[in-house]
Amino acid sequence: MSNVMEWLVTGALVVVVLVATYSVTGYGSRRRVQQDFKTPEDILTAANVYAKYGRIKAAIDLLRQGLQKHPRHRELRAKLTELTDGET
């Protein structure tokens, strides 16, 4: 019985460590993207990569941030419209 309990506790600990690692890494990545991608072309490229890998919400958020800095950039607006199906 104690062997089973050890396995369960170990498994739970592994899950906690994985969740914490991905949360911290994800936060760091988002922060780095916000700081590093300043030109519209970089923002558009990053948004395309996010969209390609199914991270549509992240792509939309990035495009919206980009449009705050570059409100008249047509390609950023077009990509945002494409991803949101015109619901912006």
- pLDDT at 24 (0 to 100): 76
Question: Per-residue confidence at 87, pLDDT binned at 50, 70, 90?
Answer: low
Quote the CA–CA distance of 66 and 77 in Å, as a whole number: 9
Residue-range definition of the domain harbouring residue 17: 1-36
Pair (56, 29) in one structural domain: no
Q: Please tell me the total count of domains within the chain.
A: 2
pTM surpassing 0.85?
A: no
> What one-character DSSP code corresponds to residue 70?
S
Report yes or no: 88 and 81 within 8 Å, Cβ to Cβ. yes
Pair (45, 83) in one structural domain: yes
Pair (66, 50) in one structural domain: yes
Residue the block writes with tokens 């369960």: 8
Pair (26, 44) in one structural domain: no
Of the two residues 88 and 8, the one the predictor is more confident about is: 8
Pair (19, 57) in one structural domain: no
Pair (58, 85) in one structural domain: yes
Residue the block writes with tokens 């077009």: 78
- Residue-wise pLDDT tens digits, 35-65: 677 899 999 999 999 999 999 998 999 999 9
Pair (30, 72) in one structural domain: no
Pair (44, 31) in one structural domain: no
Pair (47, 88) in one structural domain: yes
